[in-house]
Structures are given as C-alpha cells and as structure tokens.
Amino acid sequence: MNRTPLRFIIFLLALLGAFGASAQFRWGPTVGVNFNSFKFKQKILTVDQGFGESVGINGEMMFPGIGFGIDLGLRYEQLGASLNMGDFPMWEDSYGKERIYIHNIQIPFHLKFKYTRFQGFEDYLAPFVFGGPTFDIQVAYGKCDAMKFSGGDLGLTAGVG
C-alpha cells in the first residue's frame, strides 16, 4: 500500500495548522452600488447603462509579520441595464425598450498583501493590494425571450486600497 499521498495530506494539514495558529481573521458586511452596461460581440442592439447593487459578507485572514493573507466573501449582486431593441429592424415588431436584471451570487477568492509596518496604526489604516479569481453564479434574470444567459462567469479581479 502506497502511503505517500496520505503523508503528504497530513503534512499539508500540519502546515496549515501552524499558519492558522497565528493568523488573524476579520469579517464584516459589505454594501455597494454599481453602474453597468451589457456588451455584445455584434452590434445587434444599443444598451443604456443601469444601476445595480451588491450586499454580502467579506472576510480576511492575514498572517502577521509577513503581511500576506486571503480575502474571501459571499455576496448577492444585481446587474441591470436597458436594452433598446426597438432601434433595430429585426426586433422592432416584437420588442421595444426592455429592462434586464441579472442576479448573481458572487464568491471572490483573493490573495492579499497588506503593509503592516506602522507600529499598530495598521489596525485602523493600512495600504493593501489584492488579486485573484471571482466566481459569479447566476441565480435569476429578467424575463426576455430574445436573450439567453450564461449561468455564471469566472473573472480575475485586482485592486488596491
């Protein structure tokens, strides 16, 4: 019986446990607004920007002394825009101006670096850089028979603050 995979898993769990013993975990609510527009590969209609919102919970686990950590979250996000379908001859008989909303569950998983050499002031204000994948799972969308939606997205996010 080959025990190498079992030993490797035990080693990884011990290593994660060693880091977890000194990590600082913080979490809190997030609320946001966005202005967005939909893009299409072909010029089949015009789109007016729309308003959307997001709400959720976000957490970070930082490893003290090195400034690196993980940023995780779970959010509800609504995207919206107006589709001017009546402007094009192929839509004008059946559709006019359609308001579309897309409802997503968003799961960001980011690696984070926070500068923590401020003698305790970093508990209140600290510059940071983050990046990583964001998973969007589509849970609902506005009814428009002419549109088919993807079911979700995978994106890469980067930011500073």
126 assigned to some structural domain? yes
The pLDDT tens digits of the residues spanning 84-138 come to 777 777 776 777 777 888 889 999 999 999 877 777 676 677 788 999 999 999 8
Q: Is pLDDT of 2 > 60?
A: no
The pLDDT tens digits of the residues spanning 3-42 come to 566 666 776 666 555 554 556 788 899 899 888 877 777 7
6 assigned to some structural domain? no
7 assigned to some structural domain? no
Q: Which residue matches tokens 């490797």? A: 8
CA 5 to the chain's CA centroid: 33
Residue 112: give the domain boundaries: 23-160
Please state whether 143 falls in left (phi above 0), alpha (psi between -120 and 50) or beta.
beta
1 assigned to some structural domain? no
CA distances to 28, 84, 94, 125, 151 from 136, in Å: 20, 26, 31, 30, 9
Beta strands in 2-151 (DSSP E): 24-36, 46-48, 50-62, 68-84, 97-114, 128-141
Assign 56 a pLDDT band (cuts: 50, 70, 90).
Answer: very high
pTM of the model: 0.67
18 assigned to some structural domain? no
The shares of helix, strand and coil residues in the chain, as percent rounded to the nearest 5, are 15, 55, 30
What is the number of domains present in the chain?
1
12 assigned to some structural domain? no
8 assigned to some structural domain? no
Angle at 70 between CA 61 and CA 75, to 5 degrees: 95
10 assigned to some structural domain? no
